[in-house]
């Protein structure tokens, strides 16, 4: 809460809402207040308020709360994700079909990337992300692809103070990561070699808007067993190509 203008009741109520969303399931009052660390009475009041606005639904029989319809509907009103998805989908499908591996579309949001859309591999062993789900910027190919093409002085706002490695392969130091980001910029694609998920290899490439700013990225994710050196170089070129096609549809020339 770095801001002086935070209205605490609002902030805390939003935490309650986020808690309900992150868990993806119905929750009891006691569980929620436990999880967000708020007194029972307060949490109760917030839930009443949230549910009065349709942001939360309360089942009177089971006494459980869940995310309300209104949130979903509000989300449908957000322009950018939907527009971008529509534009990107055909190219993403093509990429998936060519390699039969999962293709993801993501954007930066603070220190995380958010999965906007995905086209899944048809194989039974496949990478699978959650629509609207989040992963750290610095452990994912998507994140690194976007970060690398941002001015270096803006890197800090998308990175935590301390890197907490998710897997054995994750970067442990900011210094090492910065070097990797510079290499990423030169290569033109971001790489995740088991840094986010053990045994998964992803290639991500940046998508630019009309003004030449990175606004998103696409990635191809596969189990490393299916990513031999040969398919890898081929895939990297294809991912960059896919990102370029989408950028073009956004009005980015060159």
Indicate which of its own copies, DNA, none lies near residue 40 (CB less than 5 to 8 Å, by partner kind).
Answer: DNA
Please tell me what DSSP assigns to residue 168. T
Exposure on the CB side of residue 116, measured as CA atoms within 13 A: 27
- Containing 214, the helix (H) or strand (E) segment is strand 214-223
Integer Rg of the chain from CA: 20
Q: How far is the CB of 13 from DNA (least distance, A)?
A: 8
**Which H or E element spans position 174?**
helix 174-187
13 contacts its own copies (rule: CB under 8 A)? yes
Q: Which of residues 48-87 bind its own copies (CB under 8 A)?
A: 48-50, 52-55, 66-81
Q: How far apart are CA 65 and CA 24, in angstroms?
A: 11
Q: Is 3 in the site for its own copies (CB under 8 A)?
A: yes
Angle (CA) 44 74 48, round 5°: 10
State which residue, 42 or 231, has the beta carbon closest to DNA: 42
Q: Does 14 bind its own copies (CB under 8 A)?
A: yes
Residues that bind DNA (CB under 7 A): 4-9, 12, 28-31, 38-42, 44-45, 63
Binding site for its own copies (CB under 8 A): 1-3, 5-7, 9-11, 13-15, 17-18, 21-22, 24-25, 44-46, 48-50, 52-55, 66-81, 107, 109-110, 114, 130-134
């Amino acid at each position: 809460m770095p801001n002086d203008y935070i209205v605490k009741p609002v902030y805390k109520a939003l935490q309650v809402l986020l808690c309900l969303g992150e868990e993806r399931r119905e929750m009891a009052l006691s569980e929620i207040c436990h999880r967000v660390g708020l007194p029972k009475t307060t949490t109760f009041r917030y839930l009443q308020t949230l549910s009065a606005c349709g942001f939360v639904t309360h089942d009177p029989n089971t006494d459980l709360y869940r995310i309300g319809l209104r949130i979903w509907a509000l989300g449908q009103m957000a322009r950018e994700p939907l527009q971008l998805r529509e534009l990107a989908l055909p190219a993403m499908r093509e990429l998936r079909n060519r390699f039969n591996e999962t293709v993801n579309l993501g954007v930066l949001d603070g220190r995380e990337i958010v999965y906007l859309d995905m086209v899944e591999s048809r194989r039974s062993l496949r990478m699978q992300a959650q629509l609207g789900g989040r992963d750290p910027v610095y452990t994912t190919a998507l994140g690194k692809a976007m970060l690398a093409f941002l001015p270096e002085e803006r890197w800090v706002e998308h990175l935590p103070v301390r890197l907490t490695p998710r897997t054995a392969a994750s970067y442990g130091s900011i210094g090492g990561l910065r070097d990797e980001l510079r290499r990423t910029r030169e290569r033109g694609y971001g790489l995740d070699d088991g840094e986010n998920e053990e045994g998964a290899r992803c290639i991500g490439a940046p998508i630019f808007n009309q003004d030449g700013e990175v606004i998103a990225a696409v990635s191809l994710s596969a189990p490393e067993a299916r990513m031999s050196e040969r398919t890898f170089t081929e895939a990297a070129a294809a991912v960059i190509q896919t990102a370029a096609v989408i950028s073009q549809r956004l009005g980015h020339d060159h």
